[in-house]
Amino acid sequence: MADLSLRSVKKVYDNTVVAVQSFDLEIADKEFIVLVGPSGCGKSTTLRMVAGLEEITAGEIYIAGRKVNTVPPKDRDIAMVFQNYALYPHMTVYDNIAYGLRLRKFPKRVIDQKVREAAEILDISELLKRKPKALSGGQRQRVAIGRAIVREPQVFLMDEPLSNLDAKLRNQMRSEIIKLRQKVNTTFIYVTHDQTEAMTLGDRIVIMKEGFVQQVGTPQEVFHHPANLFVAGFIGTPQMNIFDARLVREDGRCFVELGNARVQLPAEKTARLLAGGVESQPVKLGLRPEHLMLTEEDNAVYASVDVTEMMGSAVHIHLSACGQDVVVVVPLGEEEEETALPMGQPVRFTFRGSAAHLFDVESGCNLEYRQPPAPEPPPEEPAPAEEEAAPEAGEAAEASEEAIPVPAPPPGDPFTE
């Protein structure tokens, strides 16, 4: 059990590859934090800096109030589970879990108790006498987690622990981790590239891109209030539809125009937009597939059907509209028949103003959460770009031009003592 603090943490590999920049995060005791983002965005590097497996180039990391920048991994009271968990093939499950405790010279009775408790939590009590080769992938991963649990660490780090498992097993293990979290009262930092995993596991999610944090928030916050276009597109499945549209400001009211549709935005959204000083302007309009509605009205976007996918509880209709592909999700009631719309059929869709997400065309930042415009600075020579400066969330989407080399292969388990 411990809180963590990451302050302006930065990692540069070989003086050239900037892997993580301006990383600031306060993690509460017992919080479950998920770092998520595409491959190469700096998630593992961040986790490995917390673990002490990577030196920190700049910034500070505190665990339970203690600065750990130069504290070696084994003295950080941390356990880590990797994607490529290495079990000792010649040892039984029991011995694999007990191994670290034996090295630390725990009394036999204590080891036995801890191993059996961990096995109980992970539902592998029946497997303690087996060797790893007689286990399924999911069972092996549980043993790897068991080895970490018995250490009773202050902080539990997990680096893509499920990505070697097939889809069904991954779903199952995901719920196991939710249960595990309730039984093991500790702080978790979990790394994944899978937004579904992030949404289902995290108390808060940290979304990263190219070394920069894009947004930190609860799953609801990042889903309903994405800070920028990148987060909007990354979180949610199927992906949010993004259109070139127009925001129209008329006195105290705001409308969004897309195709033949003109939709008024609700008071709350309008107030946030006006507070940020928006004027009538072209915008990127984000609409989630489940928020588009087929309609007979004229005040709508005209489209034609490409493909209909039957998903059981919903139909995903792929349309062509405004010169692009659009996905509409239509939920199906218990009694409703699934009827495929023929390809080429003309349809229309509309949306509620409350479902509209508006982003700046240039920066990609969410116009509702933009700071009011700063007064014009006096003209002067442009300053050279400051590499250390933290970008605004919207700029971050455009930031970091560094080439992304092929990631280094994951290491073995240095916590195997």
Q: Which residues bind ligand ADP (CB under 6 A)?
A: 13-14, 17, 19, 37, 39-45, 404-405, 407-408
Q: Of 266 and 411, which has the nearer Cβ to ligand ADP?
A: 411
CB of 288 to ligand ADP, least distance (A): 25
Cβ nearer to ligand ADP, comparing 42 with 286 = 42
Q: Which is nearer to ligand ADP, 41 or 81 (CB)?
A: 41
Q: At what angle do helices 93-103 and 137-149 cross, to 10 degrees?
A: 20
C-alpha closest to that of 292 among 353, 358, 351: 351
Collapsed DSSP state (helix, strand, coil) of residue 285 = strand
* Residue 39 or 281 having the CB closest to ligand ADP: 39
Compute the least distance from the CB of residue 11 to ligand ADP, in Å.
8
Query: Minimal distance in Å, beta carbon 13 to ligand ADP?
Result: 3
Query: How far apart (Å, rounded) are the C-alpha atoms in residues 174 and 158?
Result: 12
Question: What separation in angstroms does the CA of 56 have from each of 46, 53, 289, 303?
Answer: 9, 9, 41, 52
Burial of residue 375 (number of CB atoms within 10 Å: 0-12, 13-18, 19+): exposed
Residue 183: its H or E element: helix 167-183
To ligand ADP, the closest distance from the beta carbon of 88 in angstroms equals 26
- Which C-beta is closer to ligand ADP: that of 47 or that of 285? 47
Distance CA 118, CA 146 (A): 6
Give min distance, CB of 20 to ligand ADP, in A.
Answer: 7
38 vs 266, which CB is nearer to ligand ADP?
38
Provide the greatest CA pair distance for the chain.
77
Closest contact distance (angstroms) between CB of 69 and ligand ADP is 18
In the complex, least distance from residue 397 CB atom to ligand ADP, rounded to whole angstroms: 16
Residue 177, token pair as written in the block: 């981790």
Residue number, 346 or 405, with CB nearest to ligand ADP: 405
Q: Is residue 84 packed enough to be buried (19+ CB in 10 Å), middle (13-18) or exposed (0-12)?
A: middle
Query: Least distance (Å) from ligand ADP to the CB of residue 180?
Result: 22
CA distance 197 to 183: 19
Nearest distance in Å: CB 392, ligand ADP: 22
- C-beta of 202 vs 286, nearer to ligand ADP: 202
174 vs 193, which CB is nearer to ligand ADP?
193
Per the DSSP assignment, residues forming a β-bridge with 159 are: 191
CB of 43 to ligand ADP, least distance (A): 4
Q: Could you write out the three-class secondary structure of 205-267? A: EEEEECCEEEEEECHHHHHHCCCEHHHHHHCCCCCCEEEEEEEEEECCEEEEEECCEEEECCH
Residue closer to ligand ADP by CB (options 210, 368) is 210
The vertex-381 CA angle with 380 and 387, nearest 5°, equals: 120
CB 237 within 8 A of CB 223: no
